[in-house]
């Protein structure tokens, strides 16, 4: 098993976008080749009215709730409610129009990842997977809890459906505890620290709250792992996924492979084909 190292770290700083919305970019948009299959990841603090009805095509959103209660509804009659620790895995596919609003009186603090879809799956059917924290498989080791939202961790595997293979785990560690997360060597991956401080990877890179720790693929056709040790009580999310190596043309909420497909997405949206 190849031991992964941290290749890059950075710190996320949030800015007030409006009186009811603060946002920090965990993965900045525009680095599509570097972050493949991830498009970007935003950390948001928001009240009702920030994410009113808007369309998506050609991608998935993965929304992890840190605090607050988030309600969502869409133009196909879908609706749901997410509590802290829950994750929504939404496949936009051919097209969806939805809104994401905190429950009345709530401020939601969340992470939203935009995940690319392979060319062959961009027009797939829309799909929601509401992943409730309490129902997710839990891997327990001394001083460590790993909640598996997608993929696998130490033989504990989620049933979440993936178009692109992605591992998503939430890890909590007591000070001094160590855990190793197994990953295919081909995956790009990153950790975002939500609470505390620890050391990460083969070079024992230090990381703390609001920091991102990025790990490059080690090589195809090999297994790898990233080792994490807590210095202070540590809580983090880890995402890793199989790069697609396909061209990306992204405009607003549409993520396709060509300019023509983007024009088609706008035309379809305007003519009501998302309904
Ligand atoms: Fe959305």
Q: How far away, in angstroms, is 96 Cα from ligand 1 center?
A: 9
Q: How far away, in angstroms, is 12 Cα from ligand 1 center?
A: 22
The DSSP bridge pattern shows strands 2-3 and 223-230 to be: parallel
Q: How far away, in angstroms, is 55 Cα from ligand 1 center?
A: 7
Beta-bridge mates of residue 227? 180
User: For the CA atoms of 104, 106, 107, 112, what is the dihedral angle to 10 degrees?
Assistant: -80
Q: How far away, in angstroms, is 241 Cα from ligand 1 center?
A: 21
> From CA 98, how far away is CA 35, in angstroms rounded?
26
For residue 100, give its domain range.
Answer: 2-241
Q: Are 179 and 141 in contact (CB under 8 A)?
A: yes
Cα 105-110-116 angle, rounded to 5 deg: 135
> From CA 188, how far away is CA 218, in angstroms rounded?
9
In a domain, 246, yes or no: no
In a domain, 168, yes or no: yes
In a domain, 275, yes or no: no
> From CA 68, how far away is CA 84, in angstroms rounded?
6
In a domain, 257, yes or no: no
Can you give the C-alpha Rg of the chain in angstroms? 18
In a domain, 258, yes or no: no
In a domain, 127, yes or no: yes
Q: How far away, in angstroms, is 202 Cα from ligand 1 center?
A: 37
Q: How far away, in angstroms, is 61 Cα from ligand 1 center?
A: 7
- The total domain count for the chain is 1
What is the reported pTM?
0.97
What residues of the chain score a pLDDT lower than 50?
none
CATH number for the domain harbouring residue 118: 2.60.120.10
pLDDT of residue 7: 98
Q: How far away, in angstroms, is 24 Cα from ligand 1 center?
A: 17
pLDDT of residue 275: 78
Q: How far away, in angstroms, is 106 Cα from ligand 1 center?
A: 18
Q: How far away, in angstroms, is 253 Cα from ligand 1 center?
A: 8
User: For the CA atoms of 32, 222, 144, 178, what is the dihedral angle to 10 degrees?
Assistant: -100
Spatial CA neighbour of 91 closest among 126, 129, 39: 126
Q: How far away, in angstroms, is 76 Cα from ligand 1 center?
A: 14
| 7 Cβ contact list (under 8 Å, min separation 6) | 214, 215, 216
């Amino acid at each position: 098993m190849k031991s992964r190292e941290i290749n890059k770290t950075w710190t996320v700083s949030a800015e007030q976008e409006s009186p009811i919305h603060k946002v920090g970019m965990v993965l900045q948009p525009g680095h599509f080749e570097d972050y493949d299959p991830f498009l970007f990841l935003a950390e948001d603090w928001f009240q009702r009215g920030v994410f009113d009805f808007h369309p998506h095509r050609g991608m998935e959103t993965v929304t992890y709730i840190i605090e607050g209660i988030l309600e969502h509804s869409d133009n196909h009659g879908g609706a749901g409610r997410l509590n802290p620790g829950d994750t929504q895995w939404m496949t936009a596919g051919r097209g969806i129009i939805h809104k994401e609003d905190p429950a009345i009186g709530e401020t939601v603090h969340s992470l939203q990842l935009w995940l690319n879809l392979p060319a062959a799956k961009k027009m797939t059917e829309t799909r929601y997977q509401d992943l409730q924290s309490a129902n997710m498989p839990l891997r327990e080791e001394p001083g460590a809890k790993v909640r598996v939202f997608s993929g696998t961790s130490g033989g504990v595997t989620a049933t979440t459906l993936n178009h692109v293979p992605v591992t998503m785990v939430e890890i909590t560690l007591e000070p001094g505890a160590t855990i190793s997360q197994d990953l295919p060597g081909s995956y790009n991956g990153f950790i975002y620290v939500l609470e505390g401080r620890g050391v990460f990877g083969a070079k024992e890179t230090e990381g703390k709250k609001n920091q991102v720790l990025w790990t490059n693929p080690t090589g195809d056709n090999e297994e790898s792992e990233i080792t994490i040790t807590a210095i202070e009580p540590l809580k983090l999310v880890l995402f890793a996924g199989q790069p697609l190596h396909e061209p990306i043309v992204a405009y607003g909420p549409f993520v396709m492979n060509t300019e023509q497909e983007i024009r088609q997405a706008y035309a379809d949206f305007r003519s009501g084909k998302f309904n």
